[in-house]
């Protein structure tokens, strides 16, 4: 493992996992664990943004260090995708489009969506309400194969 607990291994991935699924897995929800295990055959990644969202929960716990160690062990099989200049540019472009349309979503969700778009990944999420607004984003939800692509305006 590299410094900070991040694995140096690289994987071929097809699916970006949203924070809600990682949090459910960490919470021990059997349905989430089973889904993540079955989808791991397709190759799974998470955004560095998801790591931040998950780690916030660790820092709210009585023993953050123990929680962080457990979280890193859980996420060890996922490729962590950093926020790059290309992702930041995609984020800014889409945020401007959504703002013009009066249809903004939270910035962290939009950074996750931009990560999926830049890496051409489907997004496994339960948050259809926000992510369905992102043009071109391919959603992959529990119990279903690809939900298709959000139309590009």
* Whole-number pLDDT of residue 11: 55
* Whole-number pLDDT of residue 152: 43
Strand 138-140 to 146-149 pairing: antiparallel
pLDDT tens for the 153 residues of the chain, in order? 333 344 444 558 899 999 999 999 999 999 999 999 999 888 999 999 999 999 999 999 999 999 999 999 999 989 999 999 999 999 999 999 999 999 999 999 999 999 999 999 999 999 999 999 999 999 985 454 444 444 444
Q: Are 46 and 72 in contact (CB under 8 A)?
A: no
* Whole-number pLDDT of residue 92: 98
Strand order in the sheet with 44-47: 79-81, 44-47, 15-17, 122-124, 138-140, 146-149
Specify the CATH number for 11-143; select among 3.40.190.170, 3.90.76.10, 3.40.50.1010, 3.90.180.10: 3.40.50.1010
* Whole-number pLDDT of residue 77: 86
């Amino acid at each position: 493992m590299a410094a900070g607990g991040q694995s140096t291994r690289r994987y071929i991935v097809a699916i970006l996992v949203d924070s809600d699924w990682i949090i459910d897995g960490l919470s021990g929800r059997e349905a989430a664990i089973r889904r993540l295990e079955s989808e791991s055959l397709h190759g799974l990644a998470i955004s560095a943004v998801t790591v931040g969202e998950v780690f916030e929960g660790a820092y709210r716990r009585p023993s953050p260090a123990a929680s962080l160690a457990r979280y890193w062990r859980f996420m060890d099989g996922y490729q962590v995708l950093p926020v790059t200049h290309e992702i930041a540019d995609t984020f800014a472009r889409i945020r401007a489009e959504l703002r013009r349309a009066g249809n903004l979503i939270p910035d962290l969700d939009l950074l996750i969506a931009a990560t999926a778009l830049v890496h051409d990944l489907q997004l496994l999420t339960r948050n259809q309400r926000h992510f369905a607004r992102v043009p071109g984003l391919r959603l992959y939800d529990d119990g279903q194969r690809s939900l298709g692509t959000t139309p590009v305006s």
